Amino acid sequence: MDASQEPGELLPLSPAVFHILLALANGERHGYGIMQEIAAATEGQMRIGPGTLYRSIKQMLAAGLIAELDERPDPALDDERRRYYRLTGFGRRVAQAETQRLAQLVRAAKARQLLPGAGGATGIEGAS
């Protein structure tokens, strides 16, 4: 990764990458824990499989968005094969930039009354 790279240069993020960043925003997790966090946070609407997860993790490590931890929890409490990941400072800035981009899109959708509760229209009523 180029140290001078701006977070916005990586946008838009794929849904899988964005959800992985969100899952790591509150602390480190191992791969299976990331998958569980994504499913829980989205109430099961978003599930990523191991192939997507580890392909995304490989790309995110290369881009400097996340880092693999050297230290591990107590081996008696954890499977030694698990790899733990954490968000980097750059990864947090990229997640923030993507969040701002998505918030802007939501504001535009609300202004066009495409969201339920935005001016009372759902975007479906009266459709022909």
Read off the pLDDT of residues 42-90 as tens digits, 9 standing for 90 and up.
999 999 999 999 999 999 999 999 999 987 666 666 677 789 999 999 9
Partners of 118 in the beta sheet? 121
- Look at residue 7 in the predicted model and tell me its pLDDT: 94
Cβ proximity of 84 and 28 under 8 Å: yes
Residue 119 confidence class, pLDDT cut points 50, 70, 90:
low
- Look at residue 100 in the predicted model and tell me its pLDDT: 98
- Look at residue 48 in the predicted model and tell me its pLDDT: 96
- Look at residue 84 in the predicted model and tell me its pLDDT: 94
- Look at residue 86 in the predicted model and tell me its pLDDT: 97
Written out in words, the top-level CATH class of the domain with range 11-111 is: mainly alpha
Instruction: With a cut of 50, say whether residue 22 has pLDDT above it.
Output: yes
Instruction: With a cut of 60, say whether residue 1 has pLDDT above it.
Output: no
Q: Which amino acid is at 47?
A: R
How many CB atoms lie under 10 A from the CB of residue 104?
10
- CA R_g for the chain: 18
- DSSP conformation letters of 4-72: T--GGGGPSPPHHHHHHHHHHTTS-EEHHHHHHHHHHHTTTS----HHHHHHHHHHHHHHTSEEE-SS-
Read off the pLDDT of residues 99-118 as tens digits, 9 standing for 90 and up.
999 999 999 999 999 987 75
As a whole-number percent, the residues of the chain with pLDDT over 90 amount to: 75
Spell out the domain ranges in the chain.
11-111
Omega within 30 of 0 (cis) for the link into 116: no
